[in-house]
Amino acid sequence: MFDEVIARNPGEIEFHQAVREVLESLGPVVAKHPEYADSEVIRRLCEPERQIIFRVPWTDDRARVQLNRGFRVEFNSALGPYKGGLRFHPSVYLGIVKFLGFEQIFKNSLSGLPIGGAKGGSDFDPKGRSEAEVMRFCQSFMTELYRHLGEYTDVPAGDIGVGGREIGYMFGQYKRITNRYESGTFTGKGLSWGGSQVRTEATGYGTAFFVKEMLKASAESFDGKRVVVSGSGNVATYAIEKVHQFGARVVACSDSSGYVVDEAGIDLDLLKEIKIERRGRIDEYADRRASASFISDGSIWDVPCDVALPCATQNELDDENAIRLIKNGCRVVAEGANMPTTPRAIHTLRDAGVRFGPGKAVNAGGVATSALEMQQNASRDSWTFDYTEERLSEIMTSVHHRCLETADEYGAPNDYVVGANIAGFTRVADAMLALGVI
Ligand code: NDP
Ligand code: 2IT
């Protein structure tokens, strides 16, 4: 089946990687449940229900015409409306969108909530663009995509390069074209126009909640641990915040220009001011903080730590990095980002007895809180921060439990990869069987 996926989707290497990782876990399930093979449910899962690719023309501040490509891959809707983020980054092409959409199916299923899987985005690079340029791009992007969306159809959110600002411009254009205030068509909205408390923080907080459970499962806690977090965007920032609240110290974080080491612990207010509020570069953090230094070559995974949280992008932690982490005494690696660890690095970590949490479980708190936002929109309600955070915490505890329970059931105790893949797969596969050959 893997050969068939490669042949049907040539050149889409990230998609191949994501499919392979799931297929490798499914042997014991098919052995126990031949009905999945008989109904070709796995083959059907690997083929998106719908793929939309479109032109996104817009004019820059100098009145020059710019051109980007837009994507939305609506992968699976057996469990609910298509759900998943939009990524704006120059590296985006069909293979990236499909890997993310495929992962999203199993993540959303694992969350236990009624959401299907999708992903989209564009090769637009927001770096260095003015507010007005970003707005015009978002409006052009939505002028095509709006026709495919809806609260019962497809519900986008943010991802790399897409946060509250971009969701605002896209929701505004959607509302304008459709003449409907349909809050439930987007998640990650601002708090004054239908957004949910905790959605901004959810992926990072959820990552910390999940790792807390991983540590608890081996009779440990965050207290006094040294943690390294890659990235300094949405996921990294709020992972750092919660990890600090749990009593650990984050000593390094990064962006695409390099990393900072701060033995006194990352000063989150300073980091937020530079990276979130002003969209600046990470070297400024070291310029303004005496205990910090900036390193532009080498790797953030050279920094010794007990817990490593890759929260930037795919394939950012390779085998060489894994070997270094193990040498330096790292005991837990958990993916805040989607597929940040290469397959070889995962094997190396697991062989060395490092506890490894895969993204589709660890970072499920973001999309889970999106589903909570959809719930609030559907009932025209809005919940308090504390109540919503409590719901997120419960969801992450149950995702953790589901992973370990399923890993046990299929003869791979403590293997979170096997547990997450099989638990995610069986829920969506059962729904597909029930819905017939569609
Ligand atoms: P942001 O755009 O807020 O931040 C991304 C961070 O990663 C930035 O620090 C960025 O650095 C860095 N980064 C991005 N691309 C690269 C690259 N090619 N090389 C090195 N560094 C890079 O995105 P998010 O925090 O939202 O997303 C981070 C990860 O988490 C992604 O894998 C995303 O898919 C995943 N995720 C996000 C969720 C969410 O709710 N937002 C939910 C679940 C997973 P720079 O600023 O220099 O570009
Ligand atoms: O990868 C992800 O889970 C996200 N970017 C969030 C998706 C969502 O719909 O909230």
**In a shared domain, residues 266 and 353:** yes
**In a shared domain, residues 290 and 173:** no
Confidence tier at 381 by pLDDT (50, 70, 90): very high
Q: In this structure, is residue 55 part of a structural domain?
A: yes
**Average pLDDT of 237-264?**
98
Q: Tell me, what's the pLDDT at 280?
A: 96
**Average pLDDT of 222-239?**
98
Confidence tier at 286 by pLDDT (50, 70, 90): very high
Confidence tier at 138 by pLDDT (50, 70, 90): very high
Q: Tell me, what's the pLDDT at 42?
A: 96
* 117 within 8 A of 76, measured Cβ to Cβ: yes
The CATH number that applies at residue 129 is 3.40.50.10860
Q: Tell me, what's the pLDDT at 191?
A: 98
Residues 6+ apart with CB under 8 A from 286: 260, 292, 293, 294
Residue tagged active-site, from 98, 119, 175, 189: 119
**Average pLDDT of 243-259?**
98
Residues with CB under 6 A from ligand 1: 158-161, 203, 231-236, 255-257, 311-313, 336-338, 363, 366
**In a shared domain, residues 8 and 114:** yes
**In a shared domain, residues 97 and 162:** yes
Q: Tell me, what's the pLDDT at 386?
A: 98
* 120 within 8 A of 145, measured Cβ to Cβ: yes
Residue 397 CA, chain-centre distance (Å), reads 18
Closest Cα to atom 34 of ligand 1 = 338
Task: Determine phi and psi for 339, rounding to 5 degrees.
Answer: 55, 45
Q: Which atom of ligand 1 is nearest to the CA of 314?
A: 32
Q: Tell me, what's the pLDDT at 8?
A: 98
Please tell me the distance between residue 225's alpha carbon and the centre of ligand 1 in angstroms.
Answer: 24
Residues 6+ apart with CB under 8 A from 422: 25, 26, 28, 29, 406, 407, 410
What percent of the chain clears pLDDT 70, i.e. is strictly above it? 100
The C-alpha atoms of residue 95 and residue 375 are separated, in whole angstroms, by 31
Average pLDDT, the chain: 98
**In a shared domain, residues 164 and 82:** yes
For residue 114, what are the domain limits?
A: 2-19+28-184
Q: Indicate the top mutation candidate among 103, 313, 370, 388 to test ligand 2's pocket, ranked by most ligand atoms within 8 A of CB.
A: 370
Q: In this structure, is residue 345 part of a structural domain?
A: yes
Which residues on adjacent β-strands are paired with residue 157? 85
Ligand number with the minimum distance to the CA of 203 = 1
Using a 10 angstrom Cβ sphere, with 0-12 exposed, 13-18 middle and 19 or more buried, the burial of residue 165 is middle
**Average pLDDT of 74-95?**
98
Q: Tell me, what's the pLDDT at 339?
A: 98
* 118 within 8 A of 83, measured Cβ to Cβ: yes
Confidence tier at 210 by pLDDT (50, 70, 90): very high
pLDDT tens for each residue of 390-408 = 999 999 999 999 999 999 9
Q: In this structure, is residue 332 part of a structural domain?
A: yes
**Average pLDDT of 223-248?**
98
Q: Tell me, what's the pLDDT at 85?
A: 98
The C-alpha atoms of residue 116 and residue 179 are separated, in whole angstroms, by 26
The residue count of the chain comes to 438
The C-alpha atoms of residue 83 and residue 72 are separated, in whole angstroms, by 11
Q: In this structure, is residue 396 part of a structural domain?
A: no
**Average pLDDT of 153-175?**
98
Q: Which two tokens stand for residue 62?
A: 């100098």
pLDDT tens for each residue of 92-113 = 999 999 999 999 999 999 999 9
Please tell me the distance between residue 312's alpha carbon and the centre of ligand 1 in angstroms.
Answer: 4
Instruction: Give SS3 for 197.
Output: coil
Whether the full predicted model's pTM is greater than 0.85, yes or no, is yes
Asked which of 184, 217, 239 is the last residue of a domain, the reply is 184
The C-alpha atoms of residue 95 and residue 11 are separated, in whole angstroms, by 7
Q: Indicate the top mutation candidate among 160, 301, 399 to test ligand 1's pocket, ranked by most ligand atoms within 8 A of CB.
A: 160
**In a shared domain, residues 66 and 177:** yes
**In a shared domain, residues 11 and 158:** yes
Count up the domains in the chain and report the number: 2
**In a shared domain, residues 252 and 293:** yes
* Helices and strands in the chain: count of H runs, count of E runs: 18, 12
Q: Tell me, what's the pLDDT at 59?
A: 98
Q: Tell me, what's the pLDDT at 256?
A: 97
Instruction: Give SS3 for 198.
Output: coil
Nearest Cα residue to 260 out of 296, 314, 302, 235: 296
Confidence tier at 163 by pLDDT (50, 70, 90): very high
Q: Tell me, what's the pLDDT at 378?
A: 98
